[in-house]
Structure 1
Amino acid sequence: MASVTATAKADLPGAPEPEETPWRPWFRFGGSRLGAFILALNLLSLLILFGGALALNEWRQGLIEARQESLTVQAELLGNVLGELGISRGVPTPELDVGEAAKWLRDNFVPAGQRVRLYDINGLPVIDSYEVTENIPGRILPPARPAGAPVPADLIKKIDRDAEHKRLVEAEVAAEVERALAGEPQTTVRRNESGDRVVSVSIPIRHVRQVLGVLTLEAGNVDEILDDQRRALVPFALVALAVNLSASLLLHLFVARPIRRLSAAADQVKLQRARAISLPDLEERKDEIGDLARSLESMTDTLSTRMDAIERFAADVSHEIKNPLTSIRSALETLPLVKTDAQREKLTNLLQQDVRRLDRLITDISNASRLDAELSRDRPRAIDLNRLLGDIVGVYETTMRPGEVPVRLERPPHGLKVVGRDGPLGQVFRNLIDNARSFSPEGGEVRVVLEEVEGDLPIRIRVEDQGPGIPPENLETVFERFYTSRPKGAAFGSNSGLGLSIVRQIVEAHGGRVTATNRADAAEGGAGARFEIVLPATPPAGRRS
């Protein structure tokens, strides 16, 4: 089996937090390296796409503003020149000389991609650069139709739409010129007759302060530049798409597929009755998938161990129950054959003894089988062992009958606390005390000692008796289920052999250890058995438990 991750370890009271490999803080998001990796990839793709879109929008707005500013400067320059050169002489009121203005525009100013129109004081068009030069943009006309051929309906609709659009454009231009005749320069972005976006600037032509007309200057290559920029955005979109695809692929390879493998392994455990999950390549990973794989393996390994324990427990229970049942059956079969009352009374006593033994077995087996559920149900809390042991020993003192072995408690003046469950821990101490009293001779004494020692498990409890002790070869065997070794004269069947097994199970569930030794110190009252329990203490304030 691979090593078990810290997340799969038993949740022992007072156990320290599992140590993790240190990572740089910026690499983790919410404590998850895998989450930070996924988040970074998705944010990167979105930032690339949004950054490109924002850059294009800002550049488009800057382009329009720059064109408007450039056209405004050009229009003001042309307006000043026309205001000086294109004026009719010899009239009382200054007027625009249309011929001179047209000649000057044709010879000096017809830049490519721009259109110049001149309007008189009444807003009527007098000059159009498309009419005084050969630089007239347009589209290639379709081939001529044969004479007398009917005009297609869709062509008629198109002509009507073009005429309506041209009328709307002329209305917009007329409104723009009218506002400029009022003396205020106008800058707009609109569509021309061909449907292209144009930047238009209308400047009033003045002679001194007299408005002589309006000069309209248009630049119609804005859409071409914007199309170029849209095409420039394509690489951003492709890079963002590639990053997203890579992220999806990585998520599939490093998250989806491993989870599917874990799911398939779990189904295999269910369907094929396998005992554990083992995926070494996933367990070596250092992210959450590796933690999950190790946790699942630890969980299934624990379940497998528990199943083996249940099987052994069931076999032991069956064996132990069959013994008194066999004795009862034999006695019942023999009872009709006895001849005397003395023999009948002997068989009856044997039957009663076996019934009591069977009742004790069933009670202890029931308690042992419920122990795991009780340990998982109760919430651990800080327990003062001074008070708990004092209460338990006090009960023995108040209920002790003449001739029974007394129990003496030795404890420090200050309290010693442990994180655990008072019910199961009380059962541990009662089992050990009862076991020690059953082995103690008449006039003996059971001593319970609570003390604090150095080490990882600083709390130690010793339960000592003055009995015959434990054979050296059985110092570990006594903790096995259904093991009994009673002194001569003890009532047969009064012990089930589960008491010390339950003690070890409860102590280990609390993160401690229990051992059995023999003492042979005359100063301590002669020979006898000693059971020693060590437990972790309650962590100091400020430390996580």
Structure 2
Amino acid sequence: MRDTRPGYDGDVVLGEEYVSPGGGDAGLAASRAERNPLRVNRSPLARKIITFNLIALLILIGGIFWLDPFRGPLAVQRGDALSREAALIANAFEVQLPGGLPVSLATGDGIDAAATLGAIDLADGAQAFVFDAAGTLVAEAEGPALAEAGGSDTVLIDALNSVWGLFARVFTPGGEPGPGEAAEALVRQLVPGATDGAASVPVEATGPQGTIFAVAVPILQGDRTVGVIGLTSAATDLDSLARGEREQALQIFFIAVFVSLGLSLLLASTIANPLSDLAAAAEIGRDRHSRKLNPGRVRIPDLTGRPDEIGRLSGALRGMVAALYDRIDANEQFAADVAHEIKNPLASLRSAVVTLRVAKREDQRDRLLDVIDHDVRRLDRLVSDISNASRLDSELVKEEEESFDLIKMVRNLTDYLGEQARERGVEFITDLPPGRVETMGLEARLAQVFVNLITNAISFCEEGDAVRVWVRRRENRVLVVVEDTGPGIPEQALTKVFNRFYSERPPGQFGDHSGLGLAISKQIVESHGGVIWAENIRPTDADITSDPLGARFVVGLPI
């Protein structure tokens, strides 16, 4: 029912005007020109964006290294292969054992352990050990040495691998054998379990030359364990493969870091920079006021074209600044109007007082005293109305709207004001629909509007005239109309009657009204989302230049 779009002041920059602000915004323009998107030391928000993105990548790469998905499957395969190889060597011993005869690996009774073990071709980097049932080493053999593994591709990756190895040794649970433990010592740990007749689970340890896998398998003569085959294998190739996978992961990590930095800077430029512009514009306005620099309007950047929260924030700030300037302008105009209105009765008072000093006749003194009394009452009424008008804005914001029956309120007002009209010989007519019309608002303030309209209508009527109040409900609004058969309103004053301090009264009522009543009524109605207007009553076939039959005020409120 009214246009709620914000009315931006001409000095609040709109659209493309912000591309090259002039005048007082030279500081903001200079800061935008000097901004380097690669420098984030002045933007805490940009630093947070970059830091949080990098933390996510660090957690990801740290989890990959901690879980070590590259080496795990390879280690399982190597352990299974070593177990099968040890089982084959144990079978080679078992097929040579004499059936049903005592066997002693330590003395060579029944089988030559050293000769049998020496006849077996061991894999590169493997070592085999033969223990008797008592756990005494009987024979050992070693396969060809593994070729030296190549170094890492870069110094950085070597350093990162070293750091990771240090952390892995510190935090990895399970008490792994420390560096320097020999293969034989590792196998001896497995022998007691293998003498019970079951193959041990392959174990992994860090030896002098890198990772070592070890397994122990019993040598059985029937159901009796006569010895144990211990087999170890250096896993230099496994370490090399795992290191290669780790190097690839690190390379991808560094690529992701650079990509994340670039995207973070781009994100920061689309978030932090506009917010910095908005903050800088607000700070410039604050500094102008506090330092009393060259006055000017605050220029808020127009970012409403962005379909995000920053666009909403820009629009809200621009609307807020425009509303503040409208309020400032309105207050300045109100102060000027108040000063003008107060000067008139003051000038009249001063003239009457000066004249009273020189007046000789008693009748002249009485007339001057009447003028002084009239002007004092006029000033008192004017000050009271100005005080009410100045408090109206804050009261409309503070008071809480409630639902009420508009028909009941209007009926109560017409019952009371109708008696005043009849006392003056004015016919008072009401036409209210049955039932209830619920609306949201401040009932006391809206009642003030209708009291003002009805009393105004009565004041313009003479004996024999009539005032009519009627209400009609439409689809989404309700119309409250106050009509009178008075002299009507001059055509040029139909829109001016709602201006502050404007009064179009008969000569006999001069000074009895401040001219703020209709202005206050309009402010109250519009704060409820409604409209109010004035028009003259004319017959449909009458000439527009003919005298009106009366005046009509219409108030439309949403329901």
> Same fold by TM (over 0.5)?
yes
How far is the alpha carbon of 1:397 from its aligned partner?
3.9
Assess if the C-alpha contact under 8 Å between 2:117 and 2:139 holds in 1: no
2:68 pairs with 1:57: yes
Structure-to-structure mapping, 1:463-502, within 5 angstroms: 463-490=482-509, 492-502=510-520
Partner of 1:527 in structure 2? 549
Q: Distance in 1 between matches of 2:65 and 2:550?
A: 87
Instruction: Give the 3 Å change call, closer, same or farther, for CA 124–107 of structure 1 in structure 2.
Output: same
Mapped partners of 1:484, 1:90: distance in 2: 134
SS at match of 1:418: strand
Could you tell me which residue of structure 1 aligns to residue 152 of structure 2?
A: none
Partner of 2:545: none
1:64–1:193 Cα change, 3 Å: closer
Cα 1:195–1:358 change in 2 (3 A) is farther
Change (3 A) 1:192 1:357: closer
Q: Given the alignment, which residue of 70, 76, 97 partners 2:81?
A: 70
Counterpart residue type for residue 536 of structure 2 = N
- Residues 167 and 68 (structure 1), Cα distance of their counterparts in 2 relative to 1, 3 Å cut: closer
Q: 1:93 aligns with which of 83, 102, 110?
A: 102
Post-superposition CA distance 1:181-206 (Å, at most 9, x none): 12121124343541733222111111
Instruction: Give the partner amino acid of 1:375.
Output: L
Counterparts of residues 17-166 of structure 1 (less than 5 Å): 49=60, 53=64, 57-85=68-96, 87=97, 92-96=101-105, 97=108, 100-130=112-142, 133=143, 135=145
8 Å Cα contact 1:95-1:212 kept in structure 2:
yes
Aligned pairs (5 A) from 1:270-309: 270-272=286-288, 273-280=295-302, 282-309=303-330
Looking at structure 2, the residues matched to 395 and 476 of structure 1 have their Cα atoms a distance apart, in angstroms, of 29
Identity, % of aligned positions: 37
**What SS is found at the alignment partner of 1:256?**
helix
Residues 407-426 of structure 1: CA deviation (Å, up to 9, x unaligned) = 43321112222222212211
| In the alignment, structure 1 residue 237 sits paired with structure 2 residue 253 | yes
Measure the CA separation in 2 of the matches of 1:134 and 1:5.
90
* Structure-1 separation of matches of 2:182 and 2:444: 93
Structure 2 CA distance for partners of 1:311 and 1:51, relative to 1, 3 Å: same
Partner Cα distance (1:220, 1:128) in 2: 16
Following superposition, the deviation at residue 520 of structure 1 comes to 2.5
CA 408–259 in structure 1, closer or farther in 2 if over 3 Å, else same = same
- Give the corresponding residue for 2:524: 506
The whole-number CA distance in structure 2 between the counterparts of 1:357 and 1:495 is: 8
Aligned to 1:25: none
- Deviation, structure 1 residue 174: 2.3
Equivalent position amino acid for 1:251 in 2: L
Q: Deviations over 1:62-104 (max 9, x none)?
A: 333222222222211221112223x4x6994123359854444
**Would the alpha carbon gap of residues 171 and 407 (structure 1) be closer, same or farther in structure 2, given more than 3 Å must change?**
farther
Q: Note if contact 2:278-2:300 (Cα within 8 Å) is conserved in structure 1.
A: no
Is contact 2:129–2:184 with CA below 8 Å preserved after alignment? no
Q: Which one-letter code corresponds to 1:309 in the other structure? A: A
Secondary structure in 1 aligned to 2:433?
Answer: coil
Q: Which residue of 1 aligns with 2:558?
A: 536
Q: Would the aligned equivalents of 2:125 and 2:146 in 1 still touch at CA under 8 Å?
A: no
SS class of match (2:500): coil
Structure 2 SS opposite 1:186: coil
Matches of 1:242 and 1:5 in 2, distance apart?
A: 48
Q: Where does residue 249 of structure 1 map in the other structure?
A: 265
Matched position secondary structure for 1:483: coil
Identify the match of residue 226 of structure 1 among 239, 242, 246.
242
Q: 1:461 to 1:42 in 2, by over 3 A?
A: farther
Q: Does 1:392 align with 2:401?
A: no
Residue deviations 1:261-305 (CA, integer Å, cap 9, x gap): 00011122223354343423x221111111111111111111111
1:343/1:509 CA distance change after superposition, 3 Å: same
Name the SS for the 1:126 alignment partner: strand
Within the candidate set 451, 459, 467, 1:446 is matched to 467
Q: CA deviation at 1:445?
A: 2.5
The answer to whether the 8 A contact 1:119-1:125 is kept is yes
Deviations 1:48-69 (A, max 9, x none): 9369718963443333322222
Q: Aligned match of 1:334 in 355, 365, 379?
A: 355
Partner of 1:19: none
Deviation (angstroms), 1:406: 5.4
When residues 384 and 255 of structure 1 are mapped into structure 2, their CA distance, relative to the original with a 3 A threshold, is same
C-alpha distance in 1 between matches for 2:555 and 2:178: 101
CA contact (8 A) 1:276 1:301 kept: no
TM-score by length of 2: 0.76
Measured after TM superposition, the shift of residue 478 of structure 1 is: 0.8
Counterpart check, 1:191 vs 2:205: yes
**If the length of structure 1 is used for normalisation, what is the TM-score?**
0.78
Q: How many residues align?
A: 473
Deviations, residues 216-263 of structure 1 (Å, cap 9, x unaligned): 222321433332332232134224423532343133201111111000
- Checking the alignment, whether the CA contact within 8 Å between 1:56 and 1:230 is kept in structure 2 is no
Return the match for 1:458 from 457, 473, 477.
Answer: 477
Write the distance in 2 (CA, Å) between the matches of 1:488 and 1:90.
Answer: 145
